[in-house]
Amino acid sequence: MKEDSKIYIAGHTGFVGSAILRNLERRGYKNVVVRTHKELDLMHQESVKKFLEEEKPDYVVLSAAKVGGIQANISNPVDFLMDNLIIEYNVIKNSFEVGIENLLFLGSSCIYPKEAPQPLKEEYLLSGYLEPTNEGYAIAKISGLKMCEYYSKQYGLNYISAMPSNLYGMRDNFDLKTSHVMAALIRRFHEAKVSGSQEISIWGSGEQYREFTYIEDLADGIIFLMEHGEKVKGFLNIGCGKDIKIKDLAYKIKDVVGFKGNIIFDKSKPDGMFRKVMDVSKINSLGWHYKVELDEGITKTYRWYLNNC
């Protein structure tokens, strides 16, 4: 990938896409193509095909997706399955049809079976049942990954996929109805602090483990894979390879925010998958490693939330 390579980022206004755009600009890539949702609806097949035919990018990064936390996934499985399948089909299939040879698809760690051994290795895909609370989203992401794998195998293309761990950082979604755990906790602790609440209730036992990767590290890893695409086969995990109990995470966020009340863990609510930490040995062996530790990342994220939300 060269500085003047034309790179299209699908989903550049989103959490992940905006981070990839910032990273590309910092690295000096000068020919990045973007479209807002109003300018290009990725759910509309003919519009996507026309756009790709006109622009003919050298690289496509598919970071656009319908995403949400556990409550949103439980309530709307049809939307999370169908919307993501349509976006993936339109972008991946039409990239192939207009002759684009390089594409990177962004997946999710939820593709792995609920009872898979830890840490999660790439070869554990499709070895067992998925976590029921986000099954629709996971099936869509597996389908996108397999589309890329099959197009590469059948037509000799460089369509690769990256599976990130849980993400957090600037420009995260802090809407309590659709956000993931890190952003939701930051907002809830802040609002509890401001309102003078004496306690805060959190879904689940707090005993489940999650891995968190700072968004700028993910963007760095994505571009690393694009620059080393000839060494990548199929898909690779991207993460820090370390996890933390949700209970311990909650107390870290409490300290950063400065909330003085008590934390109540509501065990009547679902925990989701008990543990989910990625094996990142393959991407590490290519030369990429994360940089931002969790304490630093939480502080940066809360500072961004205060300044922007």
Catalytic one among 29, 137, 209, 290?
Answer: 137
166 known member of a binding site: yes
Q: If DSSP states are collapsed to H, E and C, what string results for 213-278?
A: EEHHHHHHHHHHHHHCHHHCCCEEEECCCCEEEHHHHHHHHHHHHCCCCEEEEECCCCCCCCCCCE
203 known member of a binding site: yes
285 known member of a binding site: no
63 known member of a binding site: no
> Which pair of structure tokens corresponds to residue 182?
């890190």
165 known member of a binding site: yes
15 known member of a binding site: yes
Question: For residue 33, what are the contacts with CB-CB under 8 A and spacing of at least 6?
Answer: 6, 7, 8, 9, 55, 57
- 10 Å CB burial of residue 266 (0-12, 13-18, 19+) is exposed
3-state helix, strand, coil in the chain (%, to 5): 45, 15, 35
By residue count, the chain amounts to 309
94 known member of a binding site: no
CB 190 within 8 A of CB 309: no
249 known member of a binding site: no
128 known member of a binding site: no
218 known member of a binding site: no
- Which amino acid is it at 16? V
Cα-Cα-Cα-Cα dihedral sign, residues 146, 83, 17, 132: negative
> Which pair of structure tokens corresponds to residue 66?
């319908």
83 known member of a binding site: no
Verify whether residue 137 is a known catalytic residue: yes
197 known member of a binding site: no
Active-site residue set: 137
* Binding residue numbers for substrate: 188, 203, 210, 271
* Binding residue numbers: 11-17, 106-109, 141, 164-167, 180, 188, 203, 210, 271
* Binding residue numbers for NADP(+): 11-17, 106-109, 141, 164-167, 180
